[in-house]
Structure 1
Amino acid sequence: MSATASSAPVPRPVADRAVLRRGLRVIWGGMRAQKRPVVVAVVGSVLWAGATVATAGAIGWLTSEVVEPAVDARQIEAAGLWTIFGVLVAVLLVNVTGVILRRVYATVAGFNLQADYRQRVTRQYLRLPLSWHHAHPSGQLLSNAHADVEATWQVFNPLPMAIGVIVMLVIAGTMMVLVDPLLAILGLLVFPGLFAANLVFQRVMSPRITRAQQLRAEVAEVAHESFEAGLVVKAMGREDQETERFRAKTHELRDALILVGRTRGVFEPVIEAIPTLGTLAVLGVGTWQVSRGELDAAEVVQMAYLFSILAFPVRALGWVLAEIPRSVVGHDRVQHVLQAQGGMAYGSSALPRRSPASSRLAGVTYAHAGEERPTIRGVTLDIPSGGTVALVGPTGSGKSTLANLTLRLVDADSGSVRLDGVEARDLARGQLPASAALVAQQTFMFDDTVRGNITLGADSDDAEVWESLRIAQADDFVRALPAGLDTVIGERGGSLSGGQRQRIALARAIWRRPRLLVLDDATSAVDPSVEQAILAGLREARGGMTVLVVAYRLATILLADEVVYVEHGAVVDQGSHEQLLGRCRGYVDLVQAYSREAAERAAVTRQEEPS
């Protein structure tokens, strides 16, 4: 098991001085992508901002025109009460409408962006070759598609409110200057202070958020790896060690998040206190001016109320600035995936629809990522139409890699791979999977019914599904399941044995009627007698199917028309079983080893049978 996901390449922490600039570019890109909901949210925010400031103006006017005369007269008329009620309700309705539009459409924009980017990331995962996935832990990929995408666009929650706050500040600043320039200047000094405090905050937060985001991915990777290896962990008694490994990583994440929380705990009270200090300063100076007769009480009330209602909304600017480091980090990590190179290019060629298919590898060389020595070295291999070809060789000789190259699951570094004479790179997307199928060593089952695992959601005729199961020697045990084809087999087929999973995976491939079927040790978990029945069924019923099988049993080899012996990534010999026995020493040694293993297994079986 790998140590952690930290070995995967990740973007470097964002430089402090570039955070704000880059964050604004991310926000602008999101606003352009979601123009309509963003425009509606901003309109709502402007309505809210105007109504909020208008509340201060309304209170000042009502104080001057209704409240003060009523106080002087020591009574208030019904008309005055209706005036107060009508003005405040009108302002409130505009305010509420703005808040609803702002919140609803900001949420729509944010979640639309998250959905769009999750789709882009997962499409990129499907486009990138297997070699790229082998270099990136699955927990890291899950974190990119979920936590990092969410972090990128979380900033859209406070964004429209922050835009409204800017409008509010412009309107309120104008009103304050018109009332009293001295108090306005005194009050507006608050906002440079807020901006400076938030700049310091986001500079301190950026590296800490970067670390926390990376640790989220590492925790996900450790958890995913432990769950995937559940059988190994339990069989080897590694529960305590895995628990400790997970504990150590989660404690790292805990400490990182506590550091983030502690930083917020220090800065947010300071940021929150700045507008309050401004309000107190305005009240103090305003009261002094009233005592000197330079202002009246209504003007001071209006100014103080303006600052009191601005104190909370102005924090939205801080929220946006606080989210920007997290947004930039998430965006960098997502772009690390979206900008990854190595995706397969496709042409426009179509395969001829004749059956069965033929395949040819000519001078093919391939090396796994990060390895200098090629796994496959200059292989030339012909797979004739309608034949059964067995790939044989010692462990690590490159058989599975050759199978993957034949189906273009990976691209050769050099050489040519052709299907029916057409270069695989020139084929249009979907052409090769429509004509060829692979049953791999490790079978994957979905948490679905037997039928769903065979058809993968495509329209199906149950008669064809049963025929595929019959050829795969799986029909008997499927009929015995509680609901037959409608039996849900659980996550990864947990309710089935290894051999049953392999046979359903084989039926899945046969159901598609491929013209080229590649079996990569696809019957290793079934009994030899069942394996022979499966291969015999393929031979009799393939009806236009060419078979390439990675063989580990003598019975499999004997059913092949031609045998290809591979060592160290190169084809050593090719011919019939009898021909290779007469001229290839490595093949003879391997076949003899297979024969001894089969004989020993048969002897053990006989000893275990009751006399």
Structure 2
Amino acid sequence: MNQNKKIDIKQLLWRMIRYNFRLYLIDAFFWLFIAGLPIIPGLIIREFLNTLTNQSQFSLSPWTFVILLVATGIGRVIFIFIGRVTKTQHRFTMSALIRHNLLRIILNRPAALALKRENQSQNNLALGELISYFRDDVELIEDNVVSTSELFDAGVFATIAFIILASINWQMTILIFLPVVGIVVFIQQMEHRIKRYRRASRMATENVTGLIGEIFNSVQAIKVAGAETSVINHFQKLNDQRRRTMLKDQLFTAILNSSFQNLVNFGTGIVLLLSANLLKNNIGLTVGDFALFVYYLAYITDFITFFGEFMALTKQTEVSFERMTDLIEDNTNLSNTLVASRPLYLNNIWGERQNLPRIEPIQQTYSDLQTLTVQNLTYLHQGSNQGIKNITFEIQRGTLNVITGDIGAGKTTLLQVLLGLLPLQTGKIYWNGCLINDPAIFFTPPRSAYVPQIPQLFSQTLRDNLLLGRQAPREDIEKALYNSVFAEDIGAMPLGLETLVGYKGVRLSGGQLQRAAITRALIHQPELLVFDDISSALDVQTEEQLWRRLCNTQKQQHTILVVSHREWLINRADQIIVINQQ
């Protein structure tokens, strides 16, 4: 963790409040009544008791005050019910905004660039560890944002109560609010420890969720290696570490909260002793005034305790923002990334759809591929000299271009940099002589389609995996299935394209996975087809049949760029690009 990093927590919270300020005001309005209504019952109780002792300024019967007290209680219950509705809507909106922006930032990253943890270049973040960010850290930020309105409303009540009580006895009133000063000083002294314990607990949770994801991804490897016992032992060790760090964090938080409460109770005890002495000696304090002090004390002490908890929560929220800053590698402008205003298309508190502008896909014009020129393409992996250096070549329309060379020379890296899956460090890419400024946005269907060595499928039907939410004519799907030599496999499946492939396509063989990915690429009818050693899991007959069909359609429809070591495929290539280790 970069300890010198400064997070402007006030700016971030204010930016989130402004995102849907109308909802925030509605929520604050109802909770203002919830927090403020106890002022009225306190005054009613005072006058009720003063009436019984003939010290009241009003000539009303005691039953009148009883009716007023019941009416205010019913009103507060109604406002609490409505406030819960607005609070739920506000909470969900705040958490949805953070999750939406965090996911958007991750998806906008170069796809082949690993996520880093805690600013450590050699410490990649496992996918399972992201759960801690999207669940725990987001919920903490949500609590902090929502608590601002509750703190404001409770503060309004405390201010009004302070004025009323001070008009009765200002010395006792100051004693009631004196613990606020002690809480502020205490939190400032404990800031470092609060953040340290919270950071450690979050890291321990990351390790556990990350290992769970790794276990599910590697079940077969674990069973084949007979490593079930060692994996379970390691899992138990991480859970023990998490238990200890969480215990420290929760225990320290509980100690803080109890310290706030005890500090408040100590002040309350002094106030009660002082008021009892004044009441006994009949010095400027009526029975009703004493009852008013006692009644308000409960709410005021709750406010003071809540104030201390809010300050501790804010320090813990800084840790969550710092962790997300490390994750997205942005130390400067979180307001324009993590808490940026985005349409969420949520229903409002009355069940109506929010009238937000619809985001239309960007339509970009482009010409059919004639030439693709790569000049001095360079990318070196972080912390090493491995990668590609000064790669230059040109591809013509309708040609078969084969990239080959030594293992580890950077063939896959070249494809990923070309397509924008890794950030371009130096070099230029031209499409028909026009410079491509952002390959990640440019090289998408129907300009290009990419099939990696290990295809990724979702746990859905084959049709969903092939189309990925798009629409395609039946003829195009059947043609793509034929050219990828996958039609016979589909025909042998009882449910055909409606077959569920299971987690990451576990119900398909390696060859079927690769041909499913090829079909998905062909359905888009791209100008440029990019393959990364796609036939590694195919038998010789299927592989030859696949390339024969692809090459038959290549001259009219596609330009192919493929990584391969197959000698017979290299022999029929129009261009061979050889990459050797530096």
Separation in 1, partners of 2:576, 2:489:
32
Q: Which has the larger radius of gyration?
A: 1
**Number of the residue aligned with 2:380:** 367
**Number of the residue aligned with 1:358:** 371
Per the TM alignment, residue 462 of structure 1 is displaced from its structure 2 partner at its CA by 2.5
Per the TM alignment, residue 27 of structure 1 is displaced from its structure 2 partner at its CA by 2.6
Separation in 2, partners of 1:358, 1:48:
69
TM-score, with normalisation over the residues of structure 1? 0.82
In the alignment, which of 112, 117, 120 is matched to residue 93 of structure 2? 112
Per the TM alignment, residue 374 of structure 1 is displaced from its structure 2 partner at its CA by 5.3
Separation in 2, partners of 1:27, 1:102:
21
Separation in 1, partners of 2:308, 2:436:
54
**Number of the residue aligned with 2:22:** 36
In the alignment, which of 304, 326, 344 is matched to residue 294 of structure 2? 304
The answer to whether the 8 A contact 1:40-1:105 is kept is yes
**Number of the residue aligned with 1:278:** 267
**Number of the residue aligned with 1:323:** 313
In the alignment, which of 196, 210, 220 is matched to residue 221 of structure 1? 210
Separation in 2, partners of 1:187, 1:406:
68
The answer to whether the 8 A contact 1:48-1:97 is kept is no
Task: Provide closer, same or farther for how the CA distance between residues 357 and 101 of structure 1 changes in structure 2, counting only shifts above 3 A.
Answer: farther
Separation in 2, partners of 1:539, 1:279:
86
Separation in 2, partners of 1:57, 1:200:
39
SS at match of 1:412: coil
SS at match of 2:551: helix
Separation in 2, partners of 1:171, 1:332:
37
SS at match of 1:488: coil
Separation in 2, partners of 1:36, 1:70:
45
Per the TM alignment, residue 544 of structure 1 is displaced from its structure 2 partner at its CA by 1.9
**Number of the residue aligned with 1:434:** 446
Task: Provide closer, same or farther for how the CA distance between residues 508 and 412 of structure 1 changes in structure 2, counting only shifts above 3 A.
Answer: same
More off after superposition, 155-164 vs 511-520 = 155-164
The answer to whether the 8 A contact 1:349-1:426 is kept is no
The answer to whether the 8 A contact 1:519-1:550 is kept is yes
Per the TM alignment, residue 449 of structure 1 is displaced from its structure 2 partner at its CA by 0.9
The answer to whether the 8 A contact 2:50-2:286 is kept is no
Write the deviation string for residues 162-186 of structure 1: whole angstroms up to 9, x where unpaired: 2122112111111111112232233
Separation in 1, partners of 2:561, 2:513:
20
Task: Provide closer, same or farther for how the CA distance between residues 485 and 415 of structure 1 changes in structure 2, counting only shifts above 3 A.
Answer: same
The answer to whether the 8 A contact 1:102-1:161 is kept is no
| Contiguous gaps of at least 5 residues in structure 1 | 1-9, 72-76, 342-347, 570-611
Per the TM alignment, residue 140 of structure 1 is displaced from its structure 2 partner at its CA by 4.2
Greater helix share, structure number: 1
Query: How many pairs does the alignment contain?
Result: 540
SS at match of 1:425: coil
Write the deviation string for residues 501-520 of structure 1: whole angstroms up to 9, x where unpaired: 11100000010101110110
**Number of the residue aligned with 1:344:** none
1:303 partner amino acid: F
Per the TM alignment, residue 216 of structure 1 is displaced from its structure 2 partner at its CA by 2.0
SS at match of 1:133: coil
Separation in 2, partners of 1:417, 1:11:
36
**Number of the residue aligned with 2:349:** none
Task: Provide closer, same or farther for how the CA distance between residues 305 and 352 of structure 1 changes in structure 2, counting only shifts above 3 A.
Answer: closer
1:301 partner amino acid: A
Task: Provide closer, same or farther for how the CA distance between residues 189 and 525 of structure 1 changes in structure 2, counting only shifts above 3 A.
Answer: same
What is the aligned-residue identity percentage?
Answer: 22
Task: Provide closer, same or farther for how the CA distance between residues 353 and 415 of structure 1 changes in structure 2, counting only shifts above 3 A.
Answer: same
**Number of the residue aligned with 1:7:** none
1:55 partner amino acid: P
**Number of the residue aligned with 1:546:** 559
Separation in 2, partners of 1:382, 1:430:
18
**Number of the residue aligned with 1:164:** 153
Task: Provide closer, same or farther for how the CA distance between residues 432 and 182 of structure 1 changes in structure 2, counting only shifts above 3 A.
Answer: closer
**Number of the residue aligned with 1:64:** 50
Task: Provide closer, same or farther for how the CA distance between residues 199 and 453 of structure 1 changes in structure 2, counting only shifts above 3 A.
Answer: same
1:362 partner amino acid: Q
Please provide the CA RMSD for this pair: 2.8
In the alignment, which of 364, 373, 393 is matched to residue 381 of structure 1? 393
SS at match of 2:437: helix
More off after superposition, 397-406 vs 325-334 = 397-406
**Number of the residue aligned with 2:417:** 405
In the alignment, which of 490, 494, 499 is matched to residue 487 of structure 1? 499
TM-score, with normalisation over the residues of structure 2? 0.86
More off after superposition, 134-143 vs 253-262 = 134-143
In the alignment, which of 466, 475, 498 is matched to residue 510 of structure 2? 498
**Number of the residue aligned with 1:147:** 136
Separation in 2, partners of 1:298, 1:183:
15
Per the TM alignment, residue 102 of structure 1 is displaced from its structure 2 partner at its CA by 4.4
SS at match of 1:446: coil
SS at match of 2:557: coil
The answer to whether the 8 A contact 2:420-2:440 is kept is no
**Number of the residue aligned with 1:99:** 80
More off after superposition, 539-548 vs 263-272 = 263-272
Separation in 1, partners of 2:321, 2:212:
24
The answer to whether the 8 A contact 1:42-1:164 is kept is yes
The answer to whether the 8 A contact 2:112-2:416 is kept is no
Task: Provide closer, same or farther for how the CA distance between residues 316 and 134 of structure 1 changes in structure 2, counting only shifts above 3 A.
Answer: closer
**Number of the residue aligned with 1:12:** 3
1:242 partner amino acid: V
Per the TM alignment, residue 115 of structure 1 is displaced from its structure 2 partner at its CA by 1.0
Per the TM alignment, residue 308 of structure 1 is displaced from its structure 2 partner at its CA by 2.6
Per the TM alignment, residue 91 of structure 1 is displaced from its structure 2 partner at its CA by 2.1
1:120 partner amino acid: N
In the alignment, which of 3, 12, 32 is matched to residue 46 of structure 1? 32
Per the TM alignment, residue 352 of structure 1 is displaced from its structure 2 partner at its CA by 4.1
Question: Is 1:85 matched up with 2:66?
Answer: yes
Separation in 2, partners of 1:106, 1:156:
11
2:546 partner amino acid: I
The answer to whether the 8 A contact 2:36-2:154 is kept is no
1:568 partner amino acid: Q
| Contiguous gaps of at least 5 residues in structure 2 | 117-123, 332-361
1:302 partner amino acid: L
SS at match of 2:565: coil
The answer to whether the 8 A contact 1:519-1:549 is kept is yes
More off after superposition, 465-474 vs 556-565 = 556-565
**Number of the residue aligned with 1:557:** 570
Per the TM alignment, residue 251 of structure 1 is displaced from its structure 2 partner at its CA by 1.6
Task: Provide closer, same or farther for how the CA distance between residues 35 and 28 of structure 1 changes in structure 2, counting only shifts above 3 A.
Answer: same
1:38 partner amino acid: Y
Question: Is 1:232 matched up with 2:221?
Answer: yes
